[in-house]
Structure 1
Amino acid sequence: MSRTTGDRRAEIIQAAVEVIAERGYRGASLGAVAERVGLTQQGLLHYFPTKEALLVAVLAARDQWDVASTALHGTTWPLEMLTSLVEYNATRPGIVQTFTVLAGDSVTEDHPARAYFEERYRWVREGAADMLRAEFGERLPGGLTPERAAPLLVAVMDGLQVQWLLDPAAVDMAAAFRDFVALLGGTGNT
């Protein structure tokens, strides 16, 4: 049975996720990804002409998986949807690790994913502010505006991921996020 180009690209992206999670972006080679899917490096370049192109495909796939799994495709995300996303992420340590490694690596000036993460965090903060506004109005119970609270919400989500990856037995990411939502005055602590 022959694979379609889309199937092969998906297989390569999944292999890249695994290799990046194991070695980090800088330590991951196209050769290692190609070997994992039974291709030569030249064969892999037919599907992704550069390592950077593969990296962007990995990041885009992660966002698509998040949207598909949690229905984060509306204009305003309900607070419960973010709680569901955190719960979902707790079931897939490999992709969470890949995202975390790439996000950390991207803070360097020359990193090929820097622009991607700058744009992603911009729209995530905007979406979080809209979600907080829908939940609480123009002021959260602590007095912050949705725009001031949005980066804090994103920081909690990302920070919990790092702590969970380092010590999953000690950090229940989903429970901790529900506790944070309860601190906001939302409905997350059930």
Structure 2
Amino acid sequence: MTSVAIGAGPGNDEEGRAAASDPGRGYAKGRAKREEILQAAMVLFGEVGYHAASLREIAARVGMSHPGLLHHFPTKAALLEAVLAYRDAVDTADLDDDLARGTDFFDALVSLAERNARRRHIVELFTALVAEATSPDHPAHAHFVRRYEAAVARTGARLAERARAGELREGVDPYAAARQIVALMDGLQVQWLLSLDRPESEQVDMAADLRAYLRLVLAD
């Protein structure tokens, strides 16, 4: 999506003429601004939730006008959809990259928890939005329903493979364990956020707790 700056002043006119004379530059500039808006929206949604966030505040944080932001995202719901897609793409890409390198699926989940401990704003975004989205009329409700169904199905399928190979502890139901693993990962994120005002040695270690639970499920 190309972007032409909106506003008064010779600087904006010069940028517009430059973009018009070099469409590639205009496209790259628009893509960079869109990325900046997504980052600012992730932080604000994580801070105050979707309903309390305003497009004007997001526009101010990236140094552009409200009409300029609407050029990229015409509604707050459209921006939320893009933020959720971006957030899921980050996690999915990281997980798929690990699997492509031959990493075991459950080791890759632990690595994902380790990475999330370095991405506070993404964790804050997720925990704020998923709590709001339990309401059926929330614009992200269907997204999170699909997300949890997919996460449980994918994890359950991997556990079922382990069961067939004799690599699951006796009595463990693959799909019940999958729901527990997904719930544990999300619950640990909340506890981790709440622990960040403590000394580092007392903060929740999401990866370590997930790894300990997996030892209770997977056979040695």
Q: If the length of structure 2 is used for normalisation, what is the TM-score?
A: 0.77
| 1:83–1:174 contact (8 Å) kept in structure 2 | yes
| 2:99–2:108 contact (8 Å) kept in structure 1 | no
In 2, Cα distance between equivalents of 1:51 and 1:92: 23
Equivalent residue for 2:148, pick from 117, 121, 127: 121
Equivalent residue for 2:65, pick from 8, 15, 40: 40
User: Is residue 18 of structure 1 aligned with residue 46 of structure 2?
Assistant: no
SS of alignment partner, residue 161 of structure 1: helix
Q: If the length of structure 1 is used for normalisation, what is the TM-score?
A: 0.89
Unaligned 5+ segments in structure 2 are 1-24, 197-201
Equivalent residue for 1:172, pick from 185, 196, 205: 205
Aligned twin of 1:51:
76
**Code of the aligned partner of 1:151:** R
Alignment map for 1:61-80 (pairs within 5 Å): 61-71=86-96, 78-80=105-107
SS of alignment partner, residue 63 of structure 2: coil
Larger Rg computed on CA atoms? 2
User: Is residue 148 of structure 1 aligned with residue 176 of structure 2?
Assistant: yes
Larger RCO: 1 or 2 (CA < 8 Å, sep 6+): 1
Count matched residues.
Answer: 186
Once the 2 structures are TM-superposed, how far is the Cα of residue 69 of structure 1 from its aligned partner? 2.4
Aligned twin of 2:18:
none
Unaligned 5+ segments in structure 1 are none
Identity %: 43
SS of alignment partner, residue 107 of structure 1: coil
Cα deviation, 1:85-131, whole Å, max 9, x if unaligned, reads 11111111110010111011100121100011011111111111112
